[in-house]
Chain A
Amino acid sequence: MTLRKSAWMLIGGLGIIAATNAIALLGVAYNRAGEPASRVELTERELILPVEWGIARESSAIFLKLRWRVACERIEGYGGLGAYCATPWLSRAKLAELGFNVTPAADTPQGERHYERLQSRELYLVTEVNGAAYQAALAQARDWAEKEQALAALNPGNKEMAERARRARDRVREEEESNSRLFVIDAGRDADALRARYPDGTRYAIVRGRVQPPRTSKGQGYVEELSIDRLYVPRPLRELFVPLIDRVGRGDQSPRPRYTVLVAYGARAEPWLIDAALGSQRETKTPQSKD
């Protein structure tokens, strides 16, 4: 290789490495510059220590996984707990507003094919923590428990009714103590418009995620996934979680939530951890992440 070619290669290679790292780090700096768009306090109910398996067990890094939900019309069984139930606010009008073509009539083979082929899109989502959506889910669980209790009282000796009443009571307790209070409540194509509609940055965060339109003409859309649902724990906060990791997946019965975390969302809707503390209330004595 000639000297000139070597010089070009050296400049080119170092240029690619430097430029790519610079662009990535400038993006991070832009996201985290100034006052965060949102600073939400989450507990272990919303941000869990996932059980790592396979080669992930080799990693010394710690991630926390967001446990989010959507409001569901159904509550029986596992209804209302998962992320994949049909989402009432994702109506056809809302899907059209989000840019999905849901106008074709579905009663023709062509229309059916159209709905089968609709694919999810990445949009901005609004998450709400411990807000109206959670209160509605709690009230829904309590209503259900009251109804089941009343049915069991009307049918004394009916084991099935008694079991249903017990499950409904357990559900109320879970909603009060352990179920996630983080709900995806809205979606849009414009982050600024959503921020204007949900200005309270301590309760609402604008994040990126995917919405899947209905696959059939009668179905409803649902929130498929958040684009970032694993949050890296920087070293200054790491020591707090190390003792808890060993107990993950080993039937640890210690009272929950065991920790509280302050999560910030920046200008690019990307999150980072800024503080964490043991217990259900965050105290200021824990050192904040300087990373």
Chain B
Amino acid sequence: MNPASRTEAQQRADDIRVFECELARLGEERVLVLDGAQRTAVREHHARLLAEYAQAFDVDRDVQAKQLSLGMRIASFLGALALAASIFFLFYQFWGLLSTPVQVIVLVAAAVGTFLGTLFIQRGDGSGYFTKLAGMVAFACFVLNIAMLGQIFNITPSDRALIPWAAFAFLLAYACDLRLLLAAGILCIVAYIAARTGTLAGLYWLYFGTRPENFFPAAAVLLLVPQVISHDRFAGFAAIYRVFGLLTLLLPVLVLTHWGYGSYLDWEPRFIEGFYEVMGFGLSAAAIWLGARRGWPEVVNTGVTFFVVFLYTKFFDWWWEAMPKYLFFLVLALTAVLILLVLRRLRAADYAMLRGRRR
């Protein structure tokens, strides 16, 4: 099977490395010893695969290379931010000296040029680091393009600008396998859906954050996308949708547990806060359960994080003033132990279920 992306190729290269280690151990323990021909065939096959992947995707062949890759990922992210900022300030410094037609041409040319540059770089960039850098800059140039047109022509600010920004980010993300741009596109779409929800409720669009419930429809959309549209060819994309979906759902719930006035519900604010406390515990517990059932570690981790945050903020509300501090922190520690025990049982149940399925 030919991998479709660098992530899949890297996964296969990692599997080969693990396989070689385990095969060596099995040989030492006299459990499985391949004969000379088999060993040679496997080694040559793996060597050929790794050479192909290295050429096509610049995969990391060993642990040291992988550590260096992490550094390169960070460097490419920071480089992309710095380059985008540099382009912004370059334009900012000189745009007032340009006539309006030249300003428009420069803005459009920057967006088109960086986009074409991204396509060109991607053709020869197996590692994807330079593509990520170029893609981020192209996205920043397009955002700058539309934002500056708004300033030059005194256009009324509108949430509709978020739609082409999201579309452009998604296009770059899916075409170049860039998770960073997927996150940028998701943020644009979250802001747009929340702004539209707020507008339907009578709010000025930019004030969508003043009613945290505006984010719930966006959360539902994000959680549904990987269920409805298969992301098998895009490693890690479905996980990003799920994590952002949970953040878009649980962060507003967390805010509403402390700010009942921010709700659309026509109830007593204290009652609203209590309602969302129950919702927060319920939803994060449901996320842990669902993540464990479906084998979505990112959902389990996000659910656990929010469950602990909901729990600790409640403990703080109830006991910070009333308890001696040593007792307060002891309760926190005991709670952490309790959560560990629950998760261990959940994991054991998961293994039992898996074994049952195999039988």
A267 to chain B, nearest CB (A): 12
B153 touches A119 (CB 8 A): no
B112 touches A238 (CB 8 A): no
Cα separation A16 to B151 with both chains bound (whole Å): 20
- What B residues does A62 contact at CB under 8 A? 96
Cβ of A270 and Cβ of B153 under 8 Å apart? Answer: yes
10 closest residue pairs by CB, A with B: A60-B96, A291-B100, A61-B96, A20-B164, A9-B175, A28-B153, A13-B115, A235-B99, A24-B149, A122-B204
Query: In the bound complex, do residue A210 and residue B204 qualify as a contact, i.e. CB atoms below 8 Å apart?
Result: yes
What is the interface size of chain A, counting residues whose CB is below 8 A from a CB of the partner? 53
- A27 to B146 alpha-carbon distance, docked (Å): 13
For window 112-132 of B, CB contacts with A under 8 Å fall at: 112, 115-116, 119, 122-123
Partner of A17, one of B97, B145, B207: B145
Contacts of A109 on B, CB cut-off 8 Å?
Answer: 268
Select from chain B the residue with minimum beta-carbon distance to A61: B96
State in angstroms the CA–CA spacing of A11 and B198 once bound together: 34
A166 is an interface residue with CB less than 8 A from chain B: no
Checking A25, A55, A231, A270 against B156 with a beta-carbon cut-off of 8 angstroms, the contacting residue is: A270
CB <8 Å contact, A119 and B119: no
Rounded to whole angstroms, the CA-CA distance of A13 and B33 in the bound complex is 54
Known: A17-B108, A113-B266. A235 touches B155 (CB 8 A): no
Q: Is B175 within 8 A of A28, CB to CB?
A: no
CB distance from A13 to the nearest CB of B (A): 5
Check if B101 is an interface residue, CB within 8 A of chain A.
yes
User: How many Å from the CB of A269 to the closest CB on chain B?
Assistant: 8
Q: Is the CB of B154 within 8 A of A232?
A: yes
Q: Is the interface of A mostly helix, strand, loop or mixed?
A: helix
Let me know if B202 is at the binding interface, CB within 8 A: yes
**Chain A contacts of B145 at CB under 8 A?**
17, 20-21
Closest residue of B by beta carbon distance from A99 = B202
Q: Which of B60-68, B73-81, B87-95, B274-282 is found at the contact surface with chain A?
A: B87-95
A13 touches B93 (CB 8 A): no
Contact indicator A272/B154 (Cβ below 8 Å): yes
Cβ of A271 within 8 Å of any chain B Cβ, yes or no, is yes
**For chain A residues 265-280, which have a beta carbon within 8 Å of chain B?**
268-272
Instruction: Scan A73-94; emit 1 where CB is below 8 A from any B CB, else 0.
Output: 0000000000000000000000
Determine if B142 is an interface residue (Cβ-Cβ < 8 Å).
yes
Known A60-B93, A121-B203; judge A232-B175 contact (CB<8 A): no
- Contact A59 B142, beta carbon cutoff 8 Å: no
User: What are the residues of chain B within 8 A of A120 when measuring CB–CB?
Assistant: 204, 207
Q: B156 contacts A268, CB within 8 Å?
A: yes
B183 interface residue (CB < 8 Å to A): no
Give the residue of A19, A235, A268 whose beta carbon is less than 8 angstroms from that of B100.
A235
Distance in Å from the Cβ of B221 to the closest Cβ of chain A? Answer: 20
A-B contact pairs, 6 of them (CB 8 A): A17-B168, A60-B97, A119-B202, A121-B203, A210-B204, A271-B154
Q: CB distance A27 to B155 under 8 Å?
A: yes
In angstroms, Cα B154 to Cα A208, docked, is: 12
| A-B Cβ contacts below 8 A, count | 131
- Which residues of A are found within 8 Å of B101, using beta-carbon distances? 291
From B89, B151, B203, give the contact of A119 (CB < 8 A). Answer: B203
Chain B residues within 8 Å of A110, by CB: 266
Is A228's beta carbon under 8 Å from chain B?
yes
Is B309 positioned at the interface, with any CB of A under 8 Å from its CB?
no
Within 8 A of B (CB), among A204-261: 208, 210, 227-228, 230-232, 234-236, 238
Give A1-38 as 1s and 0s: 1 = Cβ < 8 Å from B's Cβ atoms. Answer: 10001101110111011011100110110010000000
Interface string of B137-171 (1 = CB under 8 A from A): 00000100110011111111100000010011001
User: Do A59 and B96 touch across chains, with their CB atoms under 8 A apart?
Assistant: yes
CA distance A231 to B101 in the complex (A): 18
Instruction: Check if B348 is an interface residue, CB within 8 A of chain A.
Output: no
Quick one: which of B92, B146, B175 contacts A5, CB cutoff 8 A? Answer: B175
B111 within 8 A of A: yes
In B159-200, which residues have CB < 8 Å from any A CB? 164, 167-168, 171-172, 175
B164 touching A19 by the CB < 8 A rule? yes
B175–A59 CB distance below 8 A: no
Which residues of chain A are within 8 angstroms of B266 by Cβ–Cβ distance? 110, 113-114
- B99 and A24 contact, CB distance less than 8 A: no
A116 with B261: CB separation less than 8 A:
yes
Does the CB pair A16–B96 fall under 8 Å?
no
A58 at the interface (CB under 8 A from B): yes
What residue in chain B is nearest A122 (Cβ atoms)? B204
For the complex, is A117 an interface residue (Cβ under 8 Å from B)? yes
Residue of A nearest to B211 (CB): A119
Chain A residues within 8 Å of B211, by CB: 119
B104 within 8 A of partner (CB)? yes
- Whether B108 contacts A119 by the Cβ 8 Å rule is no
- Select one of B99, B156, B164, B269 contacting A227, CB under 8 A: B156
Contacting residue for B115 out of A14, A113, A117, A235, CB 8 A: A14
B203 contacts A20, CB within 8 Å?
no
Indicate if the CB atoms of A208 and B156 lie closer than 8 Å.
yes
On whether the beta carbons of A60 and B95 are closer than 8 Å, the reply is yes
Structural contact, B149 and A235, CB atoms closer than 8 A? no
Provide the bound-state CA to CA distance between A31 and B155, in Å.
9
Q: Does B98 contact A (CB under 8 A)?
A: yes
Contact of A16 among B89, B171, B203 (CB under 8 A): B171
Known: A24-B146, A60-B94, A291-B100. A13 touches B153 (CB 8 A): no
Known contacts: A235-B98, A235-B99, A235-B100. The answer to whether A20 contacts B154 by CB under 8 A is no
